[in-house]
Homo-oligomer: A and B are copies of this chain.
Amino acid sequence: MSLVIDVHGHYTTAPAALGAWRDLQIAGLKDQSKAPQASALKISDDDIRETIEANQLKLMKQRGSDLTIFSPRASFMAHHIGDFETSSTWAAICNELCYRVSQLFPEHFIPAAMLPQSPGVDPKTCIPELVKCVEQYGNVGINLNPDPSGGHWTSPPLSDRHWYPIYEKMVEYDIPAMIHVSTSCNACFHTTGAHYLNADTTAFMQCLTSDLFKDFPTLKFLIPHGGGAVPYHWGRFRGLAQELKKPLLQEHLLKNIFFDTCVYHQPGIDLLTTVIPVDNILFASEMIGAVRGVDPETGFNYDDTKRYIEASKILTPRQKHQVYEGNARRVFTRLDATLKKRGQ
């Protein structure tokens, strides 16, 4: 039986206790007496079940997707808040929750980890959390924030050796990273309307100008939100690579870079599937996420991206299967291994 795998879901509907705990943690940065212990957060299995069954799982069943790669809420990562300890405690809590979701609904959710990044802090400090998430929690990928400052872009580009400790571990485990920023605290950038898309474009271009994938031939990046501006400007990027005397993008980047289908209208999906090789496109919806409404032009939710794939006249049925399942299993090899163990 074939599967529909959504490679981009966040736990945006976590119980309110999580947000309340985070508020206290943030208050504790100014007034140490308010700082909560991690153990003060009480979320029961029933709390989790309720938030998942009434939301993501309900919509997955309605829309016909089977399994979601599930990570902590992206906008809540907020790596710019506090220091490494702040992020470390917060990431541990959020990753544990996604792990618990995956244990309660093993057929429907498999976790990907947020990292305890903090601006100006060596990324190698993220390794212990990453190791725990892969080895103990069965995470099949990570979310890597190229801008832990939250819209000030104070870290080096992704091609810089600064990031290599993370890449070394990714390669060792053969896990991909979704390159995903968090909340913008720069008033110029709306978080989901500008910062997310800008980061996607920026990350792609950082890879294009570099030889990162010569150093890490098996490193895999998933660029979310349909690759930001990249597919729409594919001619521009092909031309820029040519000016920079880089190989063709297919050779230079597309063995290592993949795009998801979080593009919320048919013409966008059609463009994506026209210009990007089908091997590099992974089904995703980022549901329940930034855009929750019903499109008055279609009568369906903007983020019901499966409808656009289904309606595609560009993709063959075989290619749709690739987008839904085959590519996800090829890119997320630990997901594939888990599914195979279950006989799927």
The residues of A with any CB-CB pair to B shorter than 8 Å are 146-147, 151-153, 155-157, 186-190, 192-194, 197-198, 201-202, 205-206, 208-209, 225-226, 228-229, 231-240, 242-243, 263-265, 267-268, 270-271, 274-275, 290-293, 295, 297, 302-303
Option from B152, B188, B231, B290 in Cβ contact (under 8 Å) with A155: B188
Q: Which of A146, A186, A232 has most B Cβ within 10 Å?
A: A232
Residue of B nearest to A240 (CB): B193
Nearest-CB residue, chain B, relative to A195: B202
Residues of B within 8 A of A240 (CB): 190, 192-193, 290-291
Contacts of A231 in B (CB 8 A): 232
Residue of B nearest to A146 (CB): B188
Known: A197-B229, A236-B265. 5 other contacts (CB 8 A): A153-B186, A153-B188, A157-B188, A193-B209, A236-B302
B202 adjacent to A243 (CB under 8 Å): no
Quick check: B263 and A302 within 8 Å, CB to CB? no
A234: chain B residues at CB < 8 Å are 265, 267-268
Q: Which residues from chain B contact A238 at a C-beta distance below 8 Å?
A: 265, 295, 297, 302
- Bound CA–CA A114/B186 (angstroms): 26
Within 8 Å by CB of A190, from B209, B233, B265, B274, lies: B209
Given contacts A201-B229, A202-B189, A267-B275, are A295 and B239 in contact (CB under 8 A)? yes
* A233 and B202 form a contact (CB under 8 A): no
A303 to B239, CA, bound (A): 9
A188 touches B201 (CB 8 A): no
Which residue on chain B has the smallest CB distance to residue A275? B267
Contact A235-B209, Cβ < 8 Å, known A240-B290, A240-B291: no
Closest to A192 in B: B240
Q: Are B295 and A235 in contact (CB under 8 A)?
A: yes
The residue on B at minimum CB distance from A186 is B153
Cβ B302 vs Cβ A235 within 8 A: yes
Which of A208, A225, A264 has the most C-beta atoms of chain B within 10 angstroms of its own C-beta?
Answer: A264
